Structure 1
């Protein structure tokens, strides 16, 4: 047989076997037979130098990529409105029925049918958008902002349940689904992984793998994917959701079996309750279910709001809760000297992961939740949004457990603790190792003084072996000090000293952020730098002056004043200045020659932007005459909301403030396009 013909035959045969194995769970051959055919194909490819586009040999992961390229979707990927309870779900249904009835009243000759419903699982993974052209997979992307995502084609090729070619050859389509890591696969992965490489949860494992620049890493995660929508169709239309799902099946896409169809909305509610009871038995994470009207013409009539389709809604399950035994409480020391309690609980499965540590926030939290006498007792815990679980309170109201003893002395250095409000603090700034290490690490971090090659390990070593006790001590280090340390050769010592030298001329905003002023972040320190343009003026500002500035309330103002009134901080800053640190004053504001859309507007940035950084966007806004602030208030004119915008976006909508969510529109208004 001609080698090319043999390769084409092998590719078709192997892809058919993969489809039956990974998508249908119906293997046709054993592993030995598959491997023999695969090895023969690999041999032919090596001998001929030709690799067919849909060859299964492309699934092992290619070379390391330099970066992700933006991909503009052929059709928008819409978000879904959310219902947190049955009342909100019923309100959505009532609105949809009213729109359908209104349309039918106005169009009696072409009425819409009675609505029927599809209920699908809402996967907790990473949204995928695959582009097929004439049957070939030509691109794959993340959701991004719904208009532009990141191209991840090489990563997607490693998922064996995703077809590299499909039977539909008559145009271009975009297929949407969710990339996931099965819980059983996560467990197997962690059994052989080192402690350092163990994966904490399935959702982050899937998202991290698909956004890893090394496709070989993606391949090792053994991801899967389910598909549920066609966002763009060239040359094909569907009458119902059922027709579209059948098209996906016919074209070898993996469709989740838990898709149900109902004519009665009461049955939809019953199905949602059933899914919640079966949730813990699934081999993947879900955080709810999606309800859709099935008729495609009805969808066209109902249309979309600015952000959501009116014909679908996500029913979000409540954060999963369970109970377990509170075994112990340890006390950790932070950068500012704050002592934070961390609870150790009896290991329990919650939302797809094994939980052993829970947050307790502070001693005020312990008192408020009646946990003072809770050691050894059963407590309720809740895990939401993949953050460390929270202890909600005791199962029993009785004081039937051992007492959580609050420390009187610092657990790290033994220094007497001071209580301020609900928190305990260690004031031993120069003698408490965790404080010193955290403070120096923060000072050297990228958003602060950006000292390259610096790490927590470096800070720990400098503290323990060279008695570096504060950031100012970094500028006293000598070559001979460093080169004698373990793991410090001449090159590493020279590189670190050069990085420290380079940091002396960082801008004033970065220097202020590096100092770690309580209750201030990058936005506030940048505003202080641009307003005062002088370190001495900032250090001597009064609370009355500061509170007049944007986003500075009395708590923040007093924090700034108290920080610079601290003799320790003053001495440290003076020492840095004497050693050559020269924070650079920002350039004078650019004079706006002509009005722009943002001239004299107060603007807040929130969420993640994908075509520029938030700092770049803020700088451009100020060039166009805007005032960029960090919090939303009645004085705010515009909120620019990127992906995963949270409470600021919600507050903006509540206050009726203009919101810009389309990144392409933003770039046009910023006069970048």
Structure 2
């Protein structure tokens, strides 16, 4: 017991010193004093065989991991819309002002406050999403696709500015930040490294995605935190309040955060950041502007990809020159033939660039690259996207000619030119097309067929002659188990996953079909508007052009796709094999005479008969305004199971409380 007591005291003392040193940059003791205490703790842990959950000895990295475990974030990690100049920033701000004005015009009794802005640095590292339950770090993950990331808890524990425990212990929260390698740390590391690291960004990302946590620990990473993405109970009124919460809970906050009442001041400070960028000890690739008020953020909401209340200002792309050595031609799933430039390797923005995109033959002509093989060209790398060739250094045709292919490089089928692109129309028997189309059909955002991958699609194409998505539903377990690396379990899992995919929602099915020039937003809009697959398949160009965000090119793409006999036959075959996409629910009409009409409602606690999102949707259909925080303007608080601080606050303010889900359901059904 005496040893345990001493260990607890040592852990508390060492963590306090680490917090002062790594987070506040304010060391309280010398390295020698810290090391003596640390060595004593290590000795006690070895003698007792016990390690406390927040011991600093956990930060040195443990055993080699077998792989990364997928982690589903409790709330989405959104990407940010991008602006690269003052005009684009002003466009973003004008859209925010427009939405703000529209809301206040419709809600004069409860207007949003004046727009104020927060300005933060945009770090160039790897996004981290940390999960704390009852004050303890229980998971850490990469951003991934924004919904599911890779679990990297053991790697993140090695970052000494990441708290293993925090004072806030009320349920679960998710905190987002950026893992970084300081430039000074990179320089020191490379002085003794057998294999020097090329840049700090890749060094941090590579360390955090390394299966050996000891490698992560050796990089001596740091991290800055800037957002609480999810909380069971904790809510915030403003960005300042959120940042103060993070500080109070020992997270490292970057000192370069500014607040402005006028957007003009934001622009001025941005120019200052650009000027001082080289003085920083870490990489940044821009700045982030956010609207401060949290209620305003909720009203502005999100597009399909981005929050409307934030924007990333991207610094100018970096450019250099190199030699264009050759051009190869790649075949995509739609049959489009894309030229890919092979370059003399060159260092640009911290990476070695060997390949560049050329988009299409129209791009080659426009950039005067037709006679550029062996010539020097300008290239640009903007952030992390594939580098782009901007054009030739000289205007003369002093290089060898880029010869456009006449036949498909994959299947030797004659190519046709449509617009600026070359296409192979051999849809079923051109391997890259068929494999690409099948793997897209099975992907997570499409039919979400578990256990499927591009390797699976390739194997099925090669060994079972699967040429189109419809043929997936003809697969039999007996055939699959004969394949290499396909045992009984894997075969059964794939058959079961295919069966489950037959009733995916209509929007996912449409996206899975891979209609050219359409993405998830367009396919969801089509599903919500028509609510019937046959109506979509028979829609005319004139009808489609009248839909939101559908221009002439997209309308033609949709019409031509569904009037291609091969595509229609594939869809019909899937239907005959039991594929029956689930139709979206009919939109609810907003009622003005319900119990909730015109009332501001807050949901708290756990609901079992419906999700909170479903409850909010039903309340809004009955004329309610659903918000996330309790205030004097709140009319009703609906308290589910384990309702916490919001329920307490409602009672303190004398706000009407609906307790129990049965009463909520009764009122919704009135």
Aligned residue for 1:181? 181
User: The residue matched to 2:406 in structure 1 has which SS?
Assistant: coil
Retained in 1: the 8 A contact 2:507–2:527? yes
Q: Is residue 58 from structure 1 mapped to residue 58 from structure 2 by the alignment?
A: yes
1:206-225 residue pairs with structure 2 within 5 A? 206=205, 209=208, 222-225=220-223
Aligned mates of 1:377, 1:476 — CA distance in 2: 52
Aligned residue for 2:467? 469
User: The residue matched to 1:425 in structure 2 has which SS?
Assistant: strand
Aligned residue for 1:46? 49
User: The residue matched to 2:49 in structure 1 has which SS?
Assistant: helix
Given the alignment, which residue of 544, 554, 558 partners 1:560?
558
Which has the higher mean CA deviation after the structures are superposed, 585-594 or 389-398? 585-594
* Residue-by-residue CA offset, 1:397-432 (whole Å, 9 max, x unaligned): 222222222111111111111111111101111111
Given the alignment, which residue of 406, 429, 446 partners 2:404?
406
CA-CA distance at 1:476 after TM superposition: 2.2
Which has the higher mean CA deviation after the structures are superposed, 499-508 or 455-464? 499-508
User: The residue matched to 1:364 in structure 2 has which SS?
Assistant: helix
Which has the higher mean CA deviation after the structures are superposed, 380-389 or 460-469? 380-389
Aligned mates of 2:617, 2:251 — CA distance in 1: 47
Aligned residue for 2:159? 159
User: The residue matched to 1:375 in structure 2 has which SS?
Assistant: coil
* Residue-by-residue CA offset, 1:598-639 (whole Å, 9 max, x unaligned): x9xxxxxxxxxxxxxxx997997699569xxxxxxxxxxxxx
Aligned residue for 1:434? 432
Aligned mates of 1:591, 1:438 — CA distance in 2: 38
Report the TM-score when normalising by structure 1: 0.60
Aligned residue for 1:446? 444
User: The residue matched to 2:347 in structure 1 has which SS?
Assistant: strand
CA-CA distance at 1:566 after TM superposition: 1.3
Aligned mates of 2:495, 2:359 — CA distance in 1: 38
Aligned residue for 1:457? 455
1:191-202 residue pairs with structure 2 within 5 A? 202=201
Aligned mates of 1:368, 1:521 — CA distance in 2: 27
Retained in 2: the 8 A contact 1:206–1:223? no
Over 3 Å counting, the alpha-carbon distance change for 1:304 and 1:498 in structure 2 is closer
Aligned residue for 1:594? 591
CA-CA distance at 1:520 after TM superposition: 2.1
Aligned residue for 1:644? none
* Residue-by-residue CA offset, 1:82-111 (whole Å, 9 max, x unaligned): 99579x99xx9xxxxxxxxxxxxxxxxxxx
CA-CA distance at 1:478 after TM superposition: 2.2
Aligned residue for 2:369? 371
Aligned mates of 1:12, 1:522 — CA distance in 2: 50
Retained in 1: the 8 A contact 2:198–2:350? no
CA-CA distance at 1:228 after TM superposition: 11
Aligned residue for 2:3? 3
Over 3 Å counting, the alpha-carbon distance change for 1:338 and 1:224 in structure 2 is same
* Residue-by-residue CA offset, 1:626-666 (whole Å, 9 max, x unaligned): 9xxxxxxxxxxxxxxxxxxxxxxxxxxxxxxxxx9x9769x
Task: Structure 1: state its 5+ residue gaps.
Answer: 72-78, 93-118, 145-149, 167-174, 230-243, 258-266, 292-301, 308-312, 600-614, 627-659
Over 3 Å counting, the alpha-carbon distance change for 1:511 and 1:286 in structure 2 is closer
Given the alignment, which residue of 388, 391, 408 partners 1:390?
388
Aligned residue for 2:347? 349
User: The residue matched to 1:505 in structure 2 has which SS?
Assistant: coil
* Residue-by-residue CA offset, 1:458-500 (whole Å, 9 max, x unaligned): 1000101111111122122222321111011122222222222
Over 3 Å counting, the alpha-carbon distance change for 1:491 and 1:351 in structure 2 is same
Root mean square deviation of aligned Cα: 6.1
Aligned mates of 1:65, 1:462 — CA distance in 2: 26
User: The residue matched to 1:58 in structure 2 has which SS?
Assistant: helix
Aligned residue for 1:584? 581
Retained in 2: the 8 A contact 1:126–1:207? no
Over 3 Å counting, the alpha-carbon distance change for 1:565 and 1:506 in structure 2 is same
Task: Structure 2: state its 5+ residue gaps.
Answer: 94-118, 144-148, 167-174, 228-242, 257-267, 298-310, 597-610, 640-670
Given the alignment, which residue of 331, 338, 341 partners 1:340?
338
Aligned mates of 1:131, 1:507 — CA distance in 2: 31
Which has the higher mean CA deviation after the structures are superposed, 373-382 or 411-420? 373-382
CA-CA distance at 1:538 after TM superposition: 2.5
Retained in 1: the 8 A contact 2:505–2:584? no
Aligned mates of 1:518, 1:83 — CA distance in 2: 28
Retained in 2: the 8 A contact 1:529–1:585? no
Aligned mates of 1:378, 1:444 — CA distance in 2: 42
Aligned mates of 1:508, 1:193 — CA distance in 2: 54
Over 3 Å counting, the alpha-carbon distance change for 1:526 and 1:208 in structure 2 is farther
Retained in 2: the 8 A contact 1:511–1:583? no
1:314-329 residue pairs with structure 2 within 5 A? 317-329=315-327
Aligned mates of 1:619, 1:518 — CA distance in 2: 36
CA-CA distance at 1:362 after TM superposition: 1.0
Aligned residue for 1:110? none
* Residue-by-residue CA offset, 1:258-293 (whole Å, 9 max, x unaligned): xxxxxxxxx9999867646x47xx7742225899xx
Aligned residue for 1:358? 356
* Residue-by-residue CA offset, 1:20-71 (whole Å, 9 max, x unaligned): 9976999845999898545314225525x7x2x7531232579989765679
Retained in 1: the 8 A contact 2:123–2:283? yes
Aligned mates of 1:128, 1:494 — CA distance in 2: 36
Over 3 Å counting, the alpha-carbon distance change for 1:202 and 1:30 in structure 2 is farther
Q: Is residue 537 from structure 1 mapped to residue 544 from structure 2 by the alignment?
A: no
Aligned mates of 2:473, 2:81 — CA distance in 1: 52
Aligned mates of 1:159, 1:5 — CA distance in 2: 26
User: The residue matched to 2:449 in structure 1 has which SS?
Assistant: coil
CA-CA distance at 1:446 after TM superposition: 2.4
Report the TM-score when normalising by structure 2: 0.61
Aligned residue for 1:483? 481
1:113-128 residue pairs with structure 2 within 5 A? 123-125=123-125
Retained in 1: the 8 A contact 2:440–2:446? yes
Aligned residue for 1:496? 494
* Residue-by-residue CA offset, 1:301-336 (whole Å, 9 max, x unaligned): x999978xxxxx998632222222222222111110
